[in-house]
Amino acid sequence: MSSRSIQRKAEGRTWILETILILLAVLFIIPIYYLVVTTFKSPDEATLHPMALPFHFTISNYTEAWKAMNYPRVFMNTAIITVASVTGIILFSAMAAYSLARRTHVVNRAIFYFFLAGMMVPFQMGLVSLFKLVNSLGIMNTLLAVICVNIGGGCIVAIFLFKSFISSSVPIELEEAAYIDGCSEQRTFWLIAFPLLMPVTATVAIITTLNVWNDFLNPLLFLQSRENNVILLEVYRNIGQFSVDWTSLFPMLLLGVAPLMTFYLIMQRYVIKGVAAGALKG
Q: What is the pLDDT along the chain (282 residues), one digit of tens a residue?
A: 556 666 777 777 888 888 899 999 989 899 889 889 988 888 888 888 888 888 888 888 899 889 888 899 999 999 999 999 999 999 999 999 999 988 888 888 888 888 888 778 877 788 888 899 999 999 999 999 999 999 988 998 899 999 988 988 888 888 888 888 888 888 889 988 999 898 889 889 988 998 999 999 999 999 988 889 999 998 888 776 556 777 888 898 888 888 888 887 887 776 666 555 544 444
8 Å CB contact between 72 and 137: no
Taking the C-alpha atoms of residue 115 and residue 266, their distance in angstroms, rounded to an integer, is 31
Distances (CA, A) of 110 to 98, 106, 166, 278: 15, 6, 18, 22
Q: How far apart are CA 238 and CA 158, in angstroms?
A: 34
Contacts of 89 (CB under 8 A, 6+ apart): 150, 151, 154, 155, 158, 204, 208
pLDDT of residue 279: 47
Question: Nearest-5° angle of CA 112, CA 113, CA 114?
Answer: 90
Residue 159 contacts residue 96 (beta carbons within 8 Å) = yes
Question: Residues 97-120: pLDDT tens digits?
Answer: 999 988 888 888 888 888 888 778
**pTM higher than 0.85 for the full model?**
no
Separation between Cα atoms, residue 62 and residue 254, nearest integer Å: 9
